[in-house]
Amino acid sequence: MKIFKLPDLGEGLQDAEIVEWHVKAGDEIAADQPLVSVETAKAIVDIPSPFSGRVAKLYGEVGQLVHVGAPLAGFEGGTAGDGDADSGTVVGEMQVGTEVRTEAPAAIAPAAHGGPAVRATPAVRALARQLQVELELVTPSGADGVVTREDVQRAARALADAGPAEPLRGVRRAMAQNMTLAQSEVAAATVIDDAVIQAWAPATDVTIRLIRALVAGCRAEPALNAWYERHTLTRRLIPRIDVGIAVDLPDGLFVPVLRDVARRDADDLRRGLDRMRADVQARRIPAEELRGHTITLSNFGMIGGKYASPLVVPPTVAILGAGRVHEQVLAVDGAPAVRRVLPLSLSFDRVVTGGEAARFLKAVIEDLEHAD
pLDDT per residue as tens digits for the range 204-225? 999 999 999 999 999 999 999 9
Is 86 inside any structural domain? no
Same domain, 124 and 237: no
CATH of the domain at 41: 2.40.50.100
Same domain, 216 and 278: yes
Same domain, 135 and 260: no
Is 314 inside any structural domain? yes
Is 316 inside any structural domain? yes
Same domain, 56 and 145: no
> Residue 286: which domain range?
171-368
237-272 residue pLDDT tens: 999 999 999 988 887 788 899 999 999 999 999 999
Is 304 inside any structural domain? yes
Q: What is the DSSP string of 202-261?
A: TT--HHHHHHHHHHHHHHH-GGGSEEEETTTTEEEE-SS--EEE-EEETTEEE--EE--G
Which residue among 36, 52, 80 closes a domain?
A: 80
Pairing relation of β-strands 295-298 and 318-322?
A: parallel
Is residue 74 within 8 Å of residue 2, measured between CB atoms?
Answer: yes
Residue 337 makes CB contacts below 8 A (sequence gap 6+) with 329, 330, 331
Backbone angles phi, psi at 180, to 5 degrees: -65, -40
The tally of domains found in the chain comes to 3
Same domain, 185 and 127: no
291-338 residue pLDDT tens: 889 999 999 999 999 999 999 988 899 999 999 999 999 999 999 999
Same domain, 187 and 335: yes
Same domain, 158 and 188: no
Is 307 inside any structural domain? yes
The pLDDT score that the predictor gives to residue 353 is 93
101-127 residue pLDDT tens: 333 333 344 444 444 567 888 888 888
CATH of the domain at 286: 3.30.559.10
Pairing relation of β-strands 189-196 and 335-348?
A: antiparallel
Same domain, 151 and 175: no
What are the start-end ranges of the H helices in the chain?
122-131, 149-162, 170-185, 206-220, 266-281, 354-368
Query: String of b and e for 276-291 (b: at least 16 CB within 10 Å)?
Result: bbebbeebebeeebbe
Is 203 inside any structural domain? yes
24-54 residue pLDDT tens: 999 999 988 999 988 876 677 889 998 889 9
Same domain, 212 and 116: no
Handedness of CA 54, 56, 59, 61 (dihedral sign): positive
Same domain, 127 and 238: no
Is 88 inside any structural domain? no
Which residue among 49, 80, 111 closes a domain?
A: 80
The pLDDT score that the predictor gives to residue 155 is 87
The pLDDT score that the predictor gives to residue 94 is 30
What integer is the mean pLDDT of 130-146?
84
> Helix, strand or coil for residue 349?
coil
Cis peptide before 315 (omega within 30 of 0): yes
Q: What is the DSSP string of 96-122?
A: ------PPPP-PPPPPSTT-SPPB--H
Residue 274 makes CB contacts below 8 A (sequence gap 6+) with none
CATH of the domain at 157: 4.10.320.10
The terminus-to-terminus CA distance of the chain in angstroms comes to: 67
Same domain, 247 and 333: yes
Is 102 inside any structural domain? yes
Which residue among 162, 182, 206 closes a domain?
A: 162
Same domain, 329 and 198: yes
Residue 90 has pLDDT above 70, yes or no: no
